[in-house]
Amino acid sequence: MSNIVYQIVTDRIVKLLESGTAPWKKAWKASNLPMNLTTKIPYKGVNTWLLLSCGMPSPYWLTWKQVMALGGTVKKDEAKNFQVVVFWKQLKYDKKMSDNEIEERTFPMLRYYRVYNLSQVELPKDKLEKLVPKVEVREVNEIEECENIVKNYKDCPEVNFGGDRAYYACLFDKIQMPLREDFDSDEEYYSTLFHEMAHSTGAEKRLNRFKATDSHIFGSETYSKEELIAEMTASFLCAEAGIETKTIENSAAYLASWLKAIKNGDKNFVISAASRAQRAADYILNRIHKDN
């Protein structure tokens, strides 16, 4: 039965590609990246990844000193659960040159701070209302059939939430997703999650489509083919859950965008990707073992 579903979805996507698709639309709005609550300065570089990867619910962070200055406290059971952010401070010094002139030089010194997520502290209500901007949050509803698919994926990587990007980090075997409420709809949330889950099936320890050390240049034909496989897999899983009618047009548009990176934009690549996507979908659905 699953093969029939996969074929129906493949045929429908190819038909959409042949008739033309609208430009692909990102299905979520950009959340605030991790930032300091008092300064509103976003963290950069490795600090962004460090703070996103710990999966905290708020994008706002504070040092212990800042919490105290605001008249707040760190929750008793959270005192030892701090995160560390690092930065390079440029220190100045004077260097005497051979002609006895003094030249100002700088050298970098690595510094670090311990920070707490807003959810780990308690602040006076008036300070919270002043510092935390009010945002309209979309109501999130779980779709039972989709949740069952996620639960069926027995060796699914850890999924972290936050930021404005969705991706699978093969080197760390982790999935990063924007917050659920940032998606336009519950269906688009699951479609995106299924896409990243599909990428994770390609790991060497699963279906072995790539190795963690492989270098896939963004936009290359190799990368494009993996994107086709992942999006086809997501489409198949959406069909399994009965939500494909709300996601398939954007999926077709996404596939069309990646076909441009493949020579001649050949739609046969979609059919080729579908055969590998079927295996990925069945693996997530726990219908096959990686060694089969």
Q: What are the CA-CA distances from residue 184 to residues 25, 76, 140, 231, 234 (Å)? A: 10, 37, 10, 18, 17
Q: What is the pLDDT of residues 22-35, one digit of tens each?
A: 788 888 876 668 99
Q: Which of 129-138, 214-223, 258-267, 269-278 is modeled with the greatest confidence?
A: 269-278
Tell me the three state secondary structure of residue 90. strand
Torsion of CA 212, 10, 6, 157, to 10 degrees: 20
Whole-structure pTM value: 0.70
The predicted structure's pLDDT at residue 223: 78
Please state the rounded mean pLDDT for residues 68-73: 96
Instruction: Give every CB contact of residue 230 below 8 A, 6+ residues apart in sequence.
Output: 195, 196, 198, 199, 277, 280
The predicted structure's pLDDT at residue 85: 92
* Confidence check: pLDDT of 145 > 90: yes
Q: Share the mean pLDDT of the chain.
A: 87
The predicted structure's pLDDT at residue 194: 98
The predicted structure's pLDDT at residue 285: 96
Indicate the range of 84-88, 96-100, 130-134, 179-183 predicted with least confidence.
96-100
